[in-house]
Amino acid sequence: MKISIILPTYNNEKTIEECLKSIFMQDFEEKEFEVLFIDGGSSDKTIEISKKFPVVFLKNPKRNEEAARILGIKKAKGEIITFIDADNVLKEKDWLTRMIEPFEDKEIAFADTLYFFYRKNDKIRVKYQALIGGDDPLVMYLGFYSRWCYLKSDWTDYPYSFEDKGNFLKIRLKNKNKVPAMGSNGFLVRKYLAKMLIRESFIHPDFVFDLVNNGHNCFAKVRIGIVHNQPKFFPNKIRRIKRRLDKEVTMKYNYGLTKKNIIKKMIYIGLILPVFYDTIKGFIKKPCLAWSFHPVACFGEIFLHVFYNLKYIVMPKFKRKENIK
């Protein structure tokens, strides 16, 4: 078997059917891949929907996606592991075929899509995230985004060298302490490397950082995209902020950022006018009304970071109440 798709789920009834349909419509032979459907105890119709498809069902007692990925790595039968999220959609029928092609080159350790795609009828927030190359405008400004950003005309600000191989770019990072935010939403890696670097918790930026810093700094950015159908922009940001403040997710790698980097970008955004300038610039480069969400996303996310950090400092009981719920 060539590919094991690891698909963590938890109450994803709104997106999981479209995700699974896009996987099983692939022109890749079904006997050459498996889908490990790893559920954290869904109480909605997620499991019921999954029964329509030939998936391998696994229970994830810890519920979160980090634990699901560790379980998936341990159970995988394929040579190549593919991390797909429950809100991903593979637009093209040859997605798997094109994504696995770079692994014919023995130097390639892992592969990622070059783009996030969006569709005509996707919600504005889904389109916006595809335009900036991720789900976080602060990440874009700090430079460690990892998909094509139409505002910056690149897939990352971090230094890299590449060879154009036609269907994909063969890439090496120039600074191993500056690794973009890769590891999910259509990320492929050789199974033996995943097993070698498995830890107690699977934090995908840490995992990719470890790959690069353990002699596997050669990877592919494939000229194809994946849809990240995540329209709930601010609720997802709040969940992410809370998980980090609660230390539910603890990263050892900080993307090579310094306080100077962060302060500089916060001042840039805080001046307000540069954000509106970037909105117009982005629209000129890639005309789409979703750029109108850029100022809202930037100012809204900064507010959320300030609000929750202050609340956890000033009202420590708030943290305990949230955990009880």
Range of the domain at 198: 87-232
Residue 177: per-residue pLDDT? 95
Q: What does the DSSP assignment read for 217-286?
A: --EEEEEEEEEE----HHHHHHHHHHHHHTTSS--S--TT--HHHHHHHHHHHHTSHHHHHHHHHHHHHS
The DSSP code for 320 is H
Q: How, if at all, do strands 219-228 and 110-117 pair? A: parallel
Quick one: tokens of 101? 């092609």
Sign, Cα dihedral of 169, 172, 173, 179:
positive
Residue 312: per-residue pLDDT? 85
Half-sphere exposure of 271 (CA within 13 A, CB side): 10
Q: What is the pTM of this model?
A: 0.93
Residue 318: per-residue pLDDT? 52
Residue 97 placed within a domain: yes
Residue 1 placed within a domain: no
Residues of the chain with pLDDT under 50: 320-325
Residue 55: per-residue pLDDT? 97
Residue 53 placed within a domain: no
Q: How, if at all, do strands 160-164 and 56-59 pair? A: unpaired
CA 56/CA 23 separation, integer angstroms: 14
Residue 139 placed within a domain: yes
Residue 209: per-residue pLDDT? 97
Quick one: tokens of 233? 């922009």
Residue 199 placed within a domain: yes
CA 140/CA 126 separation, integer angstroms: 16
Residue 316: per-residue pLDDT? 65
Residue 118 placed within a domain: yes
Residue 325: per-residue pLDDT? 41
Residue 172: per-residue pLDDT? 98
Residue with tokens 């040859």: 94
Quick one: tokens of 309? 């950090």
Domain count, the chain: 1
Number of H helices, E strands in the chain: 13, 10
Residue 215: per-residue pLDDT? 96
Interval 200-230: pLDDT, tens: 778 999 999 999 999 999 999 999 999 999 9
Using CA atoms, how far residue 89 sits from 4, 16, 37, 149, in Å, is 17, 9, 15, 19
Residue 52 placed within a domain: no
Residue 59 placed within a domain: no
